């Protein structure tokens, strides 16, 4: 059972611990720590005139109050712009505590440290900040009009403007026999993990070292950022991601103001300090995503084949650009999906608004791109009177055209080249799964009963596993357990299971013996982070490479002990044995644990394993050193995987919806997914990722929006009014897999983490349009929105289906 | 999201409770199930200096059906949880509207803790139980160190989250009169997510005469105004046969939509709410009228 581990749908090994409350999340750490709380701006745009702390000073239990004036050295400088880009000509990042100006409701202005969070909030309440109001810029239209500016020195509110072009799209469209234009909009949503952010820091003055626990997706990067900010040697800073209750992108943003301030205060005060974010803080001071306006112009032939595609995107980046312009770059490159666009031109404006900053949320710009492309495909089908799947198929990149070069630059700065994929096969599967060809009959039946139903489809291609690299460490202990470490972090994906599966398969050991550690800089110092569906591809392959090296060494050492050729040996169930030898035959096998002992020449025998090892100790060659030159003691290796470029997964979703003719309620009757992420390490985990992704997609399609008023107040900053779907709102997801291995990595895998969310808004828009007989162009759509749309279309005299 | 400091009192009898309330008045606040109050404390939207926890007042943990010479009332004590009311067999037999409406109040875990009286005392214009009480013309019993008084539902709720209860008064119970004669009731609502407060909710009561024709129809609405709005919809449906597919039901729905004056909010436009009022009223009236025909008198 050990060697066929890869591809097995085994149950998640972490679940018994997590589901029985044994998880250790940030707030479970450091009960004696001082608590931090923040006074945050109640205004969207204002100048800070004065901070008066007098009334707070006599709060019993207050320890410290800090404003920007207190921040020394680099702590007082703006936070880093993590991913610069030449098109990002006007990047701006916030200060850890606002200096002179606040640019969104929720921006941290004052930090309070007290004996507990209750007291800290009491003190916050008594601090008076005087502001001079500035008129806020709210919404993409206002930002684009630029009658008012977010940052005085950023003309037009434009942080970045980028045009990418392959061929002469505008001429191709002008020359095309058919031309359509679409105006589309997607509203804001957010990652909304159940566990918010949180940081705990402990300074050891004797050791001159800092240990930080943080609910992050990138512990090694947080370490580098903290060392730089606080002026500490990186070697004296340890950063650990404990159990993390969800990230979905928001926790790849770092260092947060609080992530810098809490350790800074811990050093300054010589006390443990902790900050656990509450839900309101998360809504107004973490990050959001998704908000875009789009204009599409497309030219196509009479068969529906694209001749030219010209897309303009106005992307709302919020108040600052700490994470660069990854999101609109992804939107404008991943928009292409499985299609050949003909000539393509994509232009985006990334715009400042006085609202919460935008950084990647699961899908990271892809849902918006997919929405633009798939709405366009449906519009073409409608225009020509051709089935929607037929138009798509006519535009597919064919398997024999792989690798396919789009002539553009992807988010990682590398060429946008699809490595593999069989789109016609995926389409065939999704049509079969949802019963596309039988839908007309179902619709007639439903209509006869006074019901309104519609079917929709959406296709996507997702660049996954972006570099630059990840590493893996694999070590066989002398008791036969295998410890594995990788630097990237885990937020519930099931890494303890899949990485262990990889090691069990590569090394030939029972999975029960494999223990995996992630996101702990004490265990592995080089890493990038968990985002962009990259963990399995990057760390999975790095760990596989490390495991193969361990295996090679184990066979060499065992070969010496058994006086056999390493090539004649195999590892089965944690035992090295001569291939084909009868089980138990003397001198033909040796436990891996013993090999681990032999690999480490010891002076002292202190346990049974060491004693047992001595029986294999042959005559000693005293002319050689016990550890040969170039060799190292022990059975442990480190491996790195660095891909030439991203690997491209793909998938297609289809849904059947029903809309109530009177109440405009929208129900999803069926939701089907066919998904291709290359070779599957564990189909059950991939399905779990898809289900979670679809759930978030349904949220984005039917429920979630960030409702800002004109003053820049977020009106629904709680789970009462921000409508994250409950399990009762999420449909049963029917899945089927397609496996087109990636030629780019040893395991042939592609990422799966974000896929589920990408096409959902496109699919639901397609299905609702089909049910209603008019095109839905803005998402999400609520029953109230649908009701208003119906009124508009019936007054325009459009037919209702 | 941590409350500011408060003194905590946990009386074990009603008499003790009203004494404490009198002592700390007007700085006291009753804590029942805490499902509405605790979030308000955590967000510091309320910061009472004293909390009087009534969860030990077991004498108020009852659901009862009183019969006063054939006039029946379902009486719910202040410590009866929504769940207790929902699952009480006698209350259900006397007044099925209670269970039907309660099933749309939040989720089971919240109903296990939240009290029906607390929800009426909280006077959220989206709260179903206050609306049911208003529809049936029920009463609220209040007690303080000064004495006991009974207030009609319509006088109790004075505005959104506002009641005529004085700061030293404890609501000890509410009484839902069981409608007499050949009457049927129904509750229907539309919420954005399962268990959420309604975008529009309607409860109706239809009474038939001995000839099985409609003699009275009344409706109450939640989330359609500052307080539960009761409308008399008899006129368009008077004399109608519940089994016939008359268009009086739809006319009643239109009348209700016309008489209501809801607001836009982040979940729905006023126009959509009116549309829902029309549709849901029609649906609820049909259901209630059909149920009325099944009542044995
Ligand atoms: C997620 C969620 C969803 C919900 N959805 C709904 C819904 O759809 N419909 C709905 O109706 N409700 C809903 N609720 C509210 C729920 O019904 C509450 O339980 C109820 O409103 C208050 O009851 P409680 O016992 O929890 O009162 P508490 O929260 O303890 O008190 C609420 C208020 O009433 C006062 N009070 C309570 N009891 C008394 C008394 N005996 N005398 C005087 N004053 C008193 C308190 O002082 C306080 O001001 C929801 C709650 C949650 C958390």
User: What is the residue-averaged pLDDT of chain A?
Assistant: 95
- The CATH number given to whatever domain includes residue A221 is 3.90.1170.50
Supply angle C-alpha A495, A501, A503, rounded to 5: 100
B50 pocket-lining for ligand 1 (C-beta < 6 Å): no
In a domain, A286, yes or no: no
Residue A364, domain CATH: 3.30.365.10
- Residue A51 pLDDT greater than 70, yes or no: yes
The distance of A707 to chain B (nearest Cα, Å) reads: 7
Q: Which residue has the tokens 């989720």?
A: B107
The CA distance from A84 to A157, in Å, is: 18
Same domain, B169 and B242: no
Q: Give the residue, A346 or A612, on which the prediction is more confident.
A: A346
Domain assignment present for B1: no
pLDDT value for A800: 45
Could you tell me the residue range of the domain that residue B276 belongs to? 182-292
Contact A286, A108 (CB under 8 A): no
Whether B134 contacts B228, CB under 8 Å: yes
* Domain presence at residue B161: yes
In a domain, B2, yes or no: no
Statement to judge: residues B191 and B269 lie in one domain: yes
In a domain, A701, yes or no: yes
Nearest CA to ligand 1 atom 5: B106
B131 and B221 housed in the same domain: no
Q: What is the pLDDT of residue B289?
A: 96
Q: Is residue A19 part of a domain?
A: no
Note the pLDDT of residue A3: 47
C-beta atoms of A783 and B199 within 8 A: yes
Residue B297 lies in a domain: no
Handedness of CA B234, B240, B244, B245 (dihedral sign): negative
Residues A354 and A493 grouped into a single domain: no
Shared-domain flag, residues A598 and A698 = no
Q: Which has more confidence, A174 or A617? A: A174
State whether the beta carbon of B170 lies less than 6 angstroms from ligand 1.
yes
Shared domain for A502 and A559, answered yes or no, is yes
Residue that terminates a domain, selected from B177, B195, B230: B177
Residue A433 and residue A303 share a domain: yes
Co-location of B23 and B72 in the same domain: no
| Same domain as A440, residue A298 | yes
- Quick check: A125 and B272 CB within 8 A? no
Q: What is the domain count for chain A?
A: 3
A174 within a domain of the structure (yes/no): no
Prediction ipTM score: 0.95
Res A248: pLDDT = 96
Judgement on whether residues B187 and B252 belong to the same structural domain of the protein: yes
Contact indicator for A537, A529 with CB cutoff of 8 Å = no
Q: What is the pLDDT of residues A730-765, one digit of tens each?
A: 999 999 999 999 999 999 999 998 999 999 999 999
Give the CATH number for residue B265. Answer: 3.30.390.50
Domain hosting A255: range is 33-134+197-276
User: Is the CA virtual torsion A406, A412, A414, A418 positive or negative?
Assistant: negative
How far, in Å, from the CA of A709 to the mean position of ligand 1?
28
Q: Kindly give the number of the ligand 1 atom that is closest to the alpha carbon of B195.
A: 8
**From first to last of its 297 residues, what are the pLDDT tens digits of chain B?**
899 999 999 999 999 999 999 999 999 999 999 999 999 999 999 999 999 999 999 999 999 999 999 899 999 999 999 999 999 999 999 999 999 999 999 999 999 999 999 999 999 999 999 999 999 999 999 999 999 999 999 999 999 999 999 999 999 999 999 999 999 999 999 999 999 999 999 999 999 999 999 999 999 999 999 999 999 999 999 999 988 877 899 999 999 999 999 999 999 999 999 999 999 999 999 999 999 999 877
Is B91's C-beta closer than 6 angstroms to any atom of ligand 1?
no
Are residue B204 and residue B280 in the same domain, yes or no?
yes
Last-in-domain residue among A581, A614, A641: A641
* Residue B141 belongs to domain with CATH number: 3.30.465.10
Regarding whether A716 and A614 lie in a shared domain, the answer is no
Closest Cβ opposite residue B269 in set A118, A280, A788? A788
Q: Over 60: is that where the pLDDT of A55 sits?
A: yes
Q: Is B34 in the pocket of ligand 1 (CB under 6 A)?
A: yes
Both A458 and A472 in one domain: the answer is no
For residue A799, pLDDT over 70 is answered with no
User: Cβ separation of B190 and A663 shorter than 8 Å?
Assistant: yes
Q: Is A732 on the interface with B (CB under 8 A)?
A: no
Please tell me the predicted confidence (pLDDT) of residue A625: 84
What pLDDT does residue B243 have? 85
Q: Which of B162, B177, B192 is the last residue of a domain?
A: B177
Query: Does residue A14 lie in a domain region?
Result: no
- The Cα-based distances of A535 to A218, A543, A693, A696 in angstroms read 12, 11, 16, 20
> What was the pLDDT predicted at A375?
98
**The domain boundary residue, chosen from A276, A308, A337:** A276
Average pLDDT of span A318-325: 98
Residue B242 near ligand 1, beta carbon < 6 Å: no
B165 shares its domain with B231: no
- Looking at the fold, whether A269 and A320 belong to one and the same domain comes out as no
Of B29, B30, B101, B112, the one to substitute when testing ligand 1's pocket (max ligand atoms within 8 A of C-beta) is: B30
Q: Is B78 in the pocket of ligand 1 (CB under 6 A)?
A: yes
pLDDT for residue A452 is more than 90 = yes
- List beta partners, residue A470: A641
Instruction: Return the residue of A nearest to B277 by Cα.
Output: A663
Residue after which a domain boundary falls, among A622, A641, A660: A641
Say if A497 falls within a structural domain. yes
Residue in B1, B44, B272 closest to A788 by CB: B272
Nearest-by-Cβ selection for A716 from B3, B266, B275: B266
* Domain match, A98 and A68 both: yes
Collect all residues from B whose CB is shorter than 8 A from any CB in A. Answer: 1-5, 43-44, 190, 192-196, 199, 266-269, 271-272, 275-276, 279-280
Give A158-196 pLDDT, tens digit per residue: 999 999 999 999 999 999 999 999 999 999 999 999 999
Tell me, yes or no, whether B48 and B15 share the same domain. yes
How many CB pairs below 8 A link A and B? 68
Q: Tell me the two tokens of residue B195.
A: 């268990």
Question: Is A360 within a domain?
Answer: yes
Could you tell me if B92 and B173 lie in one domain?
A: yes
Q: Where residue A616 falls among pLDDT bands split at 50, 70, 90?
A: low
CA-to-CA distance for A654 and A346, rounded, in angstroms?
27
Q: What is the pLDDT of residues A691-733, one digit of tens each?
A: 999 999 999 999 999 999 999 999 999 999 999 999 999 999 9
Inter-chain contact B1–A278, Cβ cutoff 8 Å? Answer: yes
Is residue A2's pLDDT more than 60?
Answer: no
Q: A87 with A207, same domain?
A: yes
Beta-carbon contacts of A342 under 8 Å, excluding residues fewer than 6 positions away, are: A167, A169, A172, A299, A305, A306, A307, A308, A309
Q: Give A497-555 pLDDT, tens digit per residue.
A: 999 999 999 999 999 999 999 999 999 999 999 988 899 999 999 999 999 999 999 99
**Integer Cα distance of B178 and B180 in angstroms:** 6
Whole-number Å distance, alpha carbon B36 to ligand 1 midpoint, is 4
Over residues A405-423, the mean pLDDT reads 92
pLDDT at position A798 is 53
Q: Is A24 helix (H, G, I), strand (E, B) or coil?
A: coil
φ, ψ for residue B196, nearest 5 deg = -70, 165
Q: How many CB atoms lie within 10 A of CB A542?
A: 31
Residues A428 and A480 in one domain: no
Of A3, A9, A4, A2, which is closest to residue A683 (Cα–Cα)? A9
Q: Which chain A residue is nearest to residue B42, measuring alpha carbons?
A: A118
For residue A615, what pLDDT is reported? 58
User: Percentage of chain A with pLDDT > 90?
Assistant: 91
B194 and B128: one domain? no
For the cut 70, the answer to whether the pLDDT of residue A289 exceeds it is yes
Q: Is residue B16 part of a domain?
A: yes
Cβ B117 under 6 angstroms from ligand 1: yes
In a domain, A781, yes or no: yes
Q: Which helix (H) or strand (E) holds A549?
A: helix A541-562
User: Does one domain contain both B171 and B91?
Assistant: yes
pLDDT at site A613:
61
Instruction: Report the predicted TM-score, pTM, of the whole model to 2 decimal places.
Output: 0.95
Shared-domain flag, residues A471 and A461: no
Domain count, chain B: 3
A118 touches chain B (CB under 8 A): yes
Give yes or no: residues B66 and B162 share one domain. Answer: yes
Q: Would the pLDDT of A309 be above 80?
A: yes
**Is A783 within 8 Å of A768 (Cβ atoms)?**
no
Q: Is B1 in Cβ contact with A280 (below 8 Å)?
A: yes
């Amino acid at each position: 059972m050990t060697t066929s581990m890869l591809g097995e749908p085994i149950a998640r090994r972490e679940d018994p611990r997590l589901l029985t409350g044994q998880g250790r999340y940030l707030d479970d750490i450091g009960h004696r720590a001082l608590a931090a709380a923040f006074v945050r701006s109640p205004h969207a745009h204002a100048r800070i005139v004065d901070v008066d702390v007098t009334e707070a000073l006599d709060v019993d239990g207050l320890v410290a109050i800090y404003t920007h004036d207190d921040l020394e050295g680099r702590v007082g400088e703006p936070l880093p712009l993590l991913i610069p880009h030449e098109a990002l000509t006007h990047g701006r990042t916030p200060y850890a505590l606002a200096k002179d100006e606040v640019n969104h409701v929720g921006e941290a202005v004052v930090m309070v440290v007290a004996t507990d969070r209750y007291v800290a909030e009491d003190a916050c309440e008594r601090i008076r900040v005087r502001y001079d109001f500035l008129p806020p810029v709210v919404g993409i239209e206002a930002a684009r009009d630029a009658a008012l500016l977010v940052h005085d020195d950023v003309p037009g509110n434009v942080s970045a403007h980028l045009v990418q072009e392959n061929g002469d799209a505008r001429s191709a469209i002008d020359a095309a026999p058919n031309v359509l234009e679409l105006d589309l909009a997607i509203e804001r949503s957010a990652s909304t993990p159940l566990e918010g952010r949180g940081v705990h820091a402990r300074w050891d003055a004797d050791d001159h070292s800092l240990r930080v626990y943080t609910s992050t997706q990138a512990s090694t990067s947080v370490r580098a950022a903290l060392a730089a900010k606080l002026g500490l040697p990186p070697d004296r800073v340890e950063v650990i991601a404990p159990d993390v209750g969800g990230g979905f992108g928001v926790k790849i943003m770092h260092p947060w103001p609080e992530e810098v301030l809490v350790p800074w205060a811990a050093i300054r005060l010589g006390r443990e300090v902790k900050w656990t974010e509450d839900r309101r803080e998360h809504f107004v001071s973490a990050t959001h995503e998704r908000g875009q306006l789009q204009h599409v112009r497309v030219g196509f032939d009479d068969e529906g084949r694209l001749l030219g595609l010209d897309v303009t995107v106005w992307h709302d980046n919020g108040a600052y650009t700490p994470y660069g312009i990854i999101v609109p770059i992804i939107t404008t490159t991943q928009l292409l999906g499985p299609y050949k666009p003909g000539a393509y031109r994509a232009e985006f404006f990334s715009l400042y608004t006085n609202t919460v900053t935008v950084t990647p949320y699961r899908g990271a710009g892809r849902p918006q791109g997919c929405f633009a492309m798939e709405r366009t495909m449906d519009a073409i089908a409608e225009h020509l009177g051709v089935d929607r799947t037929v138009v798509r198929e006519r535009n597919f990149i064919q398997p024999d055209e792989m690798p396919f070069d789009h002539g553009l630059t992807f988010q990682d700065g590398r060429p946008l080249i699809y490595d593999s994929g069989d789109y016609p096969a995926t389409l065939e599967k999704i049509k079969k799964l949802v019963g596309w060809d039988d839908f007309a009959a179902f619709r007639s039946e439903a209509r006869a009963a006074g019901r309104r139903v519609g079917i929709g489809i959406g296709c996507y291609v997702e660049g996954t596993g972006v570099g630059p690299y990840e590493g893996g460490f694999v070590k066989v202990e002398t008791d036969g357990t295998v410890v594995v470490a990788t630097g990237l972090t885990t937020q519930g994906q099931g890494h303890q299971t899949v990485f262990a599966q990889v090691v069990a398969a590569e090394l030939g050991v029972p999975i029960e013996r494999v223990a995996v550690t992630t996101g702990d800089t004490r265990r592995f110092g080089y890493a990038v982070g968990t985002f962009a569906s990259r963990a399995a591809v990057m760390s999975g392959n790095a760990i596989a490479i490390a495991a193969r090296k361990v295996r090679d060494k184990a066979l060499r050492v065992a070969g010496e002990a058994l006086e056999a050729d390493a090539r004649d040996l195999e590892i089965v169930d944690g035992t090295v044995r001569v291939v084909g030898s009868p089980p138990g035959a003397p001198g033909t096998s040796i436990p891996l644990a013993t090999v681990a002992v032999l690999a480490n020449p010891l002076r002292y025998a202190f346990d049974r394993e060491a004693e047992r090892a001595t029986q294999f100790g042959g005559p000693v060659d005293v002319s050689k050193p016990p550890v040969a030159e170039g060799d190292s003691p022990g059975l442990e290796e480190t491996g790195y995987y660095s891909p030439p470029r991203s690997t491209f997964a793909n998938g297609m979703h289809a849904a059947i919806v029903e809309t109530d003719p009177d109440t405009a309620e929208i129900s999803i009757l069926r939701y089907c997914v066919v998904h291709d992420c290359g070779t599957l390490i564990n189909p059950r985990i991939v399905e779990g990722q898809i289900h979670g992704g679809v759930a978030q997609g349904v949220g984005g399609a039917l429920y979630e929006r960030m409702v800002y008023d004109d003053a820049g107040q977020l009106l629904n900053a709680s789970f009462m009014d921000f409508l994250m779907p409950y399990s009762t709102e999420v449909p049963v997801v029917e899945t089927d897999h397609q496996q087109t291995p990636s030629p780019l990595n040893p395991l042939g895998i592609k990422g799966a983490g974000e896929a589920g969310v990408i096409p959902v808004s496109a699919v639901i828009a397609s299905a609702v349009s089909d049910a209603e007989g008019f095109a839905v162009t803005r998402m999400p759509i609520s029953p109230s929105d649908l009701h208003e749309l119906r009124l508009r279309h019936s007054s325009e005299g459009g037919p209702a289906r | 999201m941590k409350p500011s400091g408060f003194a905590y009192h946990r009386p074990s009898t009603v008499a003790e409770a009203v004494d404490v309330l009198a002592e700390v008045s007007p700085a006291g606040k009753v804590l029942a199930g805490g499902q509405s109050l605790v979030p308000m404390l955590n967000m510091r939207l309320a910061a009472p200096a004293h909390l009087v926890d009534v969860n030990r007042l077991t004498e108020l943990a009852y659901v009862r059906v009183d019969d006063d010479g054939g006039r029946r009332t379902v009486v719910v004590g202040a410590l009866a949880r929504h769940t207790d009311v929902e699952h009480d067999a006698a209350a259900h037999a006397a007044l099925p509207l209670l269970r039907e409406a309660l099933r749309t109040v939040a989720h089971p875990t919240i109903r296990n803790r939240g009290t029906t009286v607390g929800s009426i005392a909280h006077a959220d214009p989206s709260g179903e139980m206050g609306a049911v009480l208003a529809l049936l013309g029920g009463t609220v019993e209040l007690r303080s160190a000064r004495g006991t008084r009974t207030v009609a539902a319509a006088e109790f709720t004075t505005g959104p989250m506002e009641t005529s209860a004085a700061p030293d008064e404890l609501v000890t119970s509410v009484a839902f009169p069981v409608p007499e004669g050949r009457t049927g009731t129904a509750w229907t609502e539309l919420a954005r997510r399962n268990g959420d407060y309604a975008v529009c909710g309607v409860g109706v009561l239809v009474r038939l005469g001995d000839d099985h024709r409609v003699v009275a129809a009344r409706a109450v609405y939640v989330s359609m105004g500052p307080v539960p709005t009761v409308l008399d919809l008899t006129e368009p449906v008077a004399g109608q046969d519940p089994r016939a597919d008359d268009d009086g039901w739809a006319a009643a729905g239109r009348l209700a939509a016309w008489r209501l004056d809801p607001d836009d909010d982040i979940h729905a436009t006023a126009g959509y709410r009116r549309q829902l009022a029309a549709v849901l009223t029609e649906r609820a009236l049909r259901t209630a009228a059909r149920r009325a025909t099944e009542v044995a008198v």
